[in-house]
């Protein structure tokens, strides 16, 4: 599917999110990558074979003060 040189990672590769976007709809919260992966703004993914990858946002660290 990818015509870039060097080719983008495949949809099954661990670094699949490094593929180039071919469509971007920020108002709807998603981007389509050239490897067929649909990436959502919450970091969830829909793979071309229909499998779902749950969101994997890093946890925010909060710094509190002792009272």
pLDDT in tens, 29-51: 999 999 999 999 999 999 999 99
Strands 45-46 and 38-40: antiparallel
Query: Is a pLDDT exceeding 60 seen at residue 66?
Result: no
- Please tell me the predicted confidence (pLDDT) of residue 14: 92
Model pTM score? 0.78
- Please tell me the predicted confidence (pLDDT) of residue 57: 72
- Please tell me the predicted confidence (pLDDT) of residue 62: 60
Q: Which two tokens stand for residue 62?
A: 């909060």
Query: Is a pLDDT exceeding 90 seen at residue 60?
Result: no
Cα angle 12, 17, 19; round to 5 = 90
* Separation of alpha carbons 56 and 45, rounded Å: 9
């Amino acid at each position: 599917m990818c015509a870039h040189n060097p080719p983008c990672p495949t949809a099954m590769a661990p670094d699949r999110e490094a593929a180039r976007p071919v469509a971007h709809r920020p108002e709807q919260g998603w981007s389509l990558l050239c490897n067929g992966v649909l990436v959502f703004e919450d970091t969830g993914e829909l793979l071309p074979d229909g499998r779902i990858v749950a969101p994997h946002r890093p946890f925010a660290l909060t710094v509190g003060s002792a009272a």
